[in-house]
Structure 1
Amino acid sequence: MTFTSIPIVDVHALVSGDETGRDAVVAELGRAAREVGFAQIVGHGVDPILVDGLKDAAERFFALPDDAKMDVYIGNSTNHRGYVPPGEEVFAGATPDHKEAFDLSIDLPSDHPEYLAGNPLLGPNQWPDLPDFDEPVNAYYESVFALGRVLLRAFAEALGEAADRFDRYVTTPPAQLRMIHYPYDPDASDRPGIGAHTDYEVFTLLLPTAPGLEVLNADGDWIDVPYREDAFVLNIGDLLEIWTNGVFTATSHRVRKVAEERYSFPLFFNVDHDTRVDPLERFVDADGPRYGGVTAGEHLFAQTAQSFTYLRKRLAAGEIALPDNARPLYSLGREAQRSAPAV
């Protein structure tokens, strides 16, 4: 199937516990995941005060001098947390993205066993020396993460599984929040702000502040995602594509270059690092699975290590290594399905 617009799904019945409307919302989410891989989520219940606090923190951080932001450079981290300067991230051999970012995740203590064991994605955040920054950012993270767990259970039900089929694997996952800044550029050209890609986790909940996001349909056309101030953009990630054997698709997307200043806040919802993700039996026919299984955290690290300059340098120097059977960049999603069979 192809699509020419992005569906809007009101999830109020899910977040409010309204059992009378719940089944209809679950069915809508399932259709959006099967047919598009994207949806605009309204009625989500996230407090606008938390959104305002996050935006204020982002504006103040990205207004800092470059040397102050580089004090928390992501390359100083051992668990992929901190400031991402322009040009640091490159998708699948494309031109460097025209953006800067700050990456964080579940803030575990420095004596947490996973961090002490050298897990490359878990541990403490690297916070900037900026007043009133980490508190509003963490408050927003916790609220949207809670929304993500509600949607994860709904996706399981839409697939005919028990509500906790995926949620049982959510305790301390590497679920990353990115604070992304696209600077004002009056000479904006066709060069992308973020190149075409799929997301590596289970799904993403994105809060943008301006237009620019585009989604690839089955005909190879780029479809605009209209900006809505009251909506999160939800998109299916690699792991749900693998778990459903392609029934849910990690639709490729990009950010086109726009002149106006733009902020974007994706929370990449994930399951625990060591979760094994294989196609569920109900979606595998006599021809066998279309996808080889992955370990959730290893897949995320492999994709990340192939797209960040500081990690590619560590790979080249032999300081780190990709997990066994790491997938190449951009090997999942609707565009990959159009060009070659999934493996």
Structure 2
Amino acid sequence: MTRSCPLPLIDITGLSSGDRDVRLAVARALDEACIESGFVYIRGAQFDRRLFDRLLAAARRYFAQDEAGKMACYIGGSVNHSGYVPVGEEQFGGGTSDLKEAFDVNNDYHHAEGRRPLLGPNLWPDLPGFQSDVLAYYRHVAAIGRSLFDAFALALGLDERHFAPHLRHPPNQLRLIHYPLAAGTEDRPGIGAHTDYECFTLLFATSPGLQVLRHDGSWIDVPLIPDTMVMNIGDMMELLSNGRYVATTHRVKKVAEERYSFPFFFTCDYDHVIAPLVPGRGERRYTPVRCGEHLFNQTAQTFAYLKRRRAAGDLVLADALPLDSFGARPPVPVAR
């Protein structure tokens, strides 16, 4: 069963205010919305639409190339899991390949010290303006994400800058995703049902297709609202909030038109240990995880090139949690 239902909408403009009470009001609204649904629309004066438009144009140029041009940046040849992801490279539960292609951009980290599987220099195609346009958007949305981390700290009753020392070189990832219009009548999803691994995600998309799973088992269509982004809770935010927020399962249904989607996944520094920060409700117990290790372990369970390395014995994962470790508990209704 699928039903259309708008999500809560929060204006985050106040997070740029010098008045702590204004920032706290936004944090409280965000807190209530995230408890209620785990998916939220956000808008704000911080958004620079010109950078969104430049990113979309860059993606169109890249995916218009022939297969050889795109595969020149195949993600399997990268040192930090960046580059082109062809159709079928990813598989979520059930072994069904997603009907999408992507270009993944990570923290473009060029220091020799501190490199990790998700932290290093990106692969970049030889397309004029592509790198500069994508990085401009990456840096813009990364700044918005840092202010949202401050808001979550306030919402959880922590010092407002609690997360700042753990956001020095996070393996945040921006995905440029292209969903081609599917031929035929097979109801094949653009991307399978899953939760996001990170703390939270900010999504900009060009057309509908996103669906969210309600606790009653029904799927909600997420329509586009002009000049907004969709924000959702990921595994790590569920863990560090001790279940106050729940990572919500979502998917992209079979697209009715060509679709571009740009999720930006926010996390903490690679070696930071994510553990519950506030008292829990006694319903679930969460095991602390090392941030980057959790991300890479989960990634290695879905990408074909990493599965091949595991099968060959070239890659060994330590204490990898199953892909459905989070998002199992229904959201707790908010008292009004």
Q: TM-score, normalised by structure 2?
A: 0.93
1:166 aligns with 2:163: yes
For 1:246, give the aligned amino acid.
Answer: G
Structure 1 SS opposite 2:41: strand
Q: Is the 8 A contact 2:243 2:284 kept in 1?
A: no
Q: Is the 8 A contact 2:233 2:246 kept in 1?
A: yes
Q: 1:19 offset after TM fit, Å?
A: 4.8
Q: Is the 8 A contact 1:272 1:296 kept in 2?
A: yes
Residue matched to 2:26: 25
Aligned counterpart in structure 2 of residue 327 of structure 1, from 305, 314, 321: 321
Q: 1:29 offset after TM fit, Å?
A: 0.3
Structure 1, unpaired ranges of 5+: 339-343
Q: 1:279 offset after TM fit, Å?
A: 1.3
Structure 2 counterparts to residues 173-252 of structure 1, below 5 A: 173-187=170-184, 189-252=186-249
Runs of 4+ residues over 3 Å off in structure 1: 16-21, 186-189
Q: Is the 8 A contact 1:209 1:229 kept in 2?
A: no
Change in Cα spacing, 1:234 to 1:288, as seen in structure 2 (3 Å) is closer
Could you tell me the percent identity over the aligned residues?
A: 53
Taking the aligned partners of 2:325 and 2:220, their CA distance within structure 1 comes to 21
Taking the aligned partners of 2:126 and 2:6, their CA distance within structure 1 comes to 42
Structure 1 SS opposite 2:114: helix
Q: 1:229 offset after TM fit, Å?
A: 2.8
Residue matched to 1:103: 104
Residue matched to 2:291: 296
Structure 2 SS opposite 1:283: coil
Q: TM-score, normalised by structure 1?
A: 0.91
Q: 1:43 offset after TM fit, Å?
A: 1.5
Q: Is the 8 A contact 1:13 1:19 kept in 2?
A: no
Residue matched to 1:256: 253
Structure 2 SS opposite 1:299: helix
Residue matched to 1:341: none
Q: 1:78 offset after TM fit, Å?
A: 2.4
Residue matched to 2:129: 132
Taking the aligned partners of 2:292 and 2:105, their CA distance within structure 1 comes to 15
Residue matched to 1:337: 329
Taking the aligned partners of 1:80 and 1:59, their CA distance within structure 2 comes to 22
Q: Is the 8 A contact 2:213 2:219 kept in 1?
A: yes
Change in Cα spacing, 1:19 to 1:244, as seen in structure 2 (3 Å) is closer
For 2:244, give the aligned amino acid.
Answer: V
Aligned counterpart in structure 2 of residue 150 of structure 1, from 127, 147, 164: 147
Q: 1:188 offset after TM fit, Å?
A: 5.2
For 1:301, give the aligned amino acid.
Answer: F
Q: Is the 8 A contact 1:194 1:255 kept in 2?
A: yes
Taking the aligned partners of 2:185 and 2:258, their CA distance within structure 1 comes to 11
Paired residues in the alignment total 327
Residue matched to 2:307: 312
RMSD over aligned Cα atoms: 1.7
Q: Is the 8 A contact 2:269 2:292 kept in 1?
A: yes
Taking the aligned partners of 2:217 and 2:172, their CA distance within structure 1 comes to 30
Structure 1 SS opposite 2:94: coil
